[in-house]
Amino acid sequence: MIDLDQHRVKPGDRPDLSKIPTRQNAGLDSKADGEALLASNVERIDELQGRLWAEGRRSVLLVLQGMDTSGKDGTIRKVFTGVNPAAFEIHQFGVPGPHEIAQDYLWRAHARVPRRGRIGVFNRSHYEDVLVARVAKLVEKPVWKRRYEHINDFERMLHDEGTSVVKCFLHVSREEQFERLNARIDDPRKNWKLSPSDFTARADWPEYRDAYEDVLERCSTKQAPWYVVPADRKWVRNAIVSQLILATLEKLDPKYPEGVEDHEALRTFPRDHR
Ligand code: ADP
């Protein structure tokens, strides 16, 4: 049994990431147990997404952050494998392009918030503007420091307007990252995933840990909580994230709308045109 509360960062708490194990089973008995849970969660997510879509009033946004190789892409593929693509939106946030850099930093995130009735995923997000922007010194300290409050206000507004925001930090160890980067070097099918930024960010590991701890402390709110997801074991990571999406949808409990037509009249509609 996964206890999601154990992974949720309570508002104002500052988790010490060096003390939170990255390799743990999170209450699951075995890999088979985790995979069975994922499979059943995927089915339930599909069913509830159908109701969210039919209801058409609210949306769910999953924000995924983590160091390179933490498994953001793999999580998305495994957790959302069963959903209806028509009611699903995903956006990958990379280095801002010329149109993006010409706007405030939240502009591009806001534009990608899922429309009503959809589940959306941010693969990286507006949090890069207090992570890489801070660690790589793309902006001065007074600039990134005031952003936590902007972000909290932005997410509260989304919540008030009907978007449930949940945020996962995929927590991998530096050792596991080393293994995964090596696999990308050794396996020709994975070479394409390598980028020099993976190695510069790896060198700045302690600075990123600090920056993530600040994010978790300052931006885990009641309406948009952060979860620290142990991510060295992919099956544990997938089980937890799927459980969180399922719990979010269950809490929303979307309903099929009442039909607007007179069903009885439709039942007696002549059907002999066949
Ligand atoms: P990923 O590493 O997520 O698989 P990419 O290799 O395309 O995907 O990397 C995206 C890069 O874009 C990352 O290095 C990330 O730090 C960078 N990035 C994202 N948002 C910003 C931002 N707001 N400012 C600067 N760099 C950013």
| pLDDT, tens digit (0-9, with 9 covering 90-100), for 238-272 | 999 999 999 999 999 999 998 877 777 777 777 66
**For residues 171-193, average pLDDT:** 93
**For residues 87-107, average pLDDT:** 98
Residue nearest to atom 16 of ligand 1 (CA): 132
| pLDDT, tens digit (0-9, with 9 covering 90-100), for 17-63 | 999 999 999 999 999 999 999 999 999 999 999 999 999 999 999 99
In single-letter form, the type of residue at position 62 comes to: L
Q: Are 141 and 106 in contact (CB under 8 A)?
A: no
What is the per-residue pLDDT for 273?
65
CA of 237 to the centre of ligand 1 (A): 21
pLDDT category, 184, cuts 50, 70, 90? very high
Residue nearest to atom 26 of ligand 1 (CA): 95
Q: Are 65 and 168 in contact (CB under 8 A)?
A: yes
Shortest CA distance to 130 belongs to which of 216, 196, 228?
A: 216
What is the per-residue pLDDT for 261?
75
Shortest CA distance to 167 belongs to which of 133, 215, 210?
A: 215
pLDDT at residue 73 above 70?
A: yes
What is the per-residue pLDDT for 267?
77
What is the per-residue pLDDT for 274?
58
Cβ-in-10-Å burial (0-12, 13-18, 19+) of 39 comes to: middle
Q: Is 197 in the pocket of ligand 1 (CB under 6 A)?
A: yes
What is the per-residue pLDDT for 264?
77
Which atom of ligand 1 lies closest to the CA of 132? Answer: 16
Which atom of ligand 1 lies closest to the CA of 68? Answer: 2
Residue nearest to atom 12 of ligand 1 (CA): 94
> How, if at all, do strands 88-92 and 226-230 pair?
unpaired
Residue that wins the pLDDT comparison between 108 and 192: 108
Residue nearest to atom 11 of ligand 1 (CA): 94
pLDDT category, 199, cuts 50, 70, 90? confident
| pLDDT, tens digit (0-9, with 9 covering 90-100), for 206-233 | 999 999 999 999 999 999 999 999 999 9
Cβ-in-10-Å burial (0-12, 13-18, 19+) of 22 comes to: buried
CA of 124 to the centre of ligand 1 (A): 7
Mean pLDDT, all residues of the chain: 95
CA of 95 to the centre of ligand 1 (A): 5
| pLDDT, tens digit (0-9, with 9 covering 90-100), for 145-166 | 999 999 999 999 999 999 999 9
Six-digit token pair at 107? 């502009």
CA of 94 to the centre of ligand 1 (A): 4
